[in-house]
């Protein structure tokens, strides 16, 4: 198995290449995702009822995939859609600049 550092380097290089080639982007875009500087971002709304609070709780998941939509690089949660988008985009830029630690998110890679 490849080291996490090698996977990170490859992901960054692929993301940069995809960002430079818009035609290639369209072929690999997952449903519900959009491209942002070479990576794919998906924002999902969730609502659940809290028995403790006796009310619905709403939140927004953000998922960042590699440029080909094959590997989940990072996930997170925002209280609003705008917050989720902002958090995902900030992480994406920092990832491509090598400023954030990286590990592959375990689990189903195309959930």
**Residue, of 3 and 65, whose pLDDT is higher:** 65
Separation of alpha carbons 72 and 106, rounded Å: 8
Q: pLDDT, tens digit, for every residue of 53-63?
A: 888 888 999 99
Q: Does the pLDDT value for residue 110 go beyond 90?
A: no
Query: Can you tell me which residue has the tokens 């080291």?
Result: 3
Q: pLDDT, tens digit, for every residue of 81-94?
A: 999 999 999 999 88
Separation of alpha carbons 53 and 69, rounded Å: 37
pLDDT confidence of residue 111? 46
Enumerate the β-bridge partners of residue 41.
34, 64
Q: Does the pLDDT value for residue 65 go beyond 80?
A: yes
Separation of alpha carbons 59 and 46, rounded Å: 5
Instruction: Give the 3-state secondary structure of residue 77.
Output: strand
| Six token digits for residue 42 | 């998906």
């Amino acid at each position: 198995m490849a080291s996490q550092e090698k996977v990170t380097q490859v992901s960054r290089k692929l993301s940069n290449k995809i960002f430079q080639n818009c035609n290639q982007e369209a072929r690999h875009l997952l449903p519900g995702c959009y491209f942002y500087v070479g990576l794919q971002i998906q924002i999902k709304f969730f609502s659940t009822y809290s028995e403790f609070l006796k009310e619905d709780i709403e939140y927004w998941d953000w998922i960042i995939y590699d440029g080909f939509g094959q590997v989940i690089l990072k996930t997170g949660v925002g209280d609003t859609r705008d917050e989720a988008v902002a958090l995902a985009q900030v992480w994406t830029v920092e990832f491509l600049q090598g400023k954030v630690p990286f590990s592959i998110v375990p689990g189903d890679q195309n959930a």
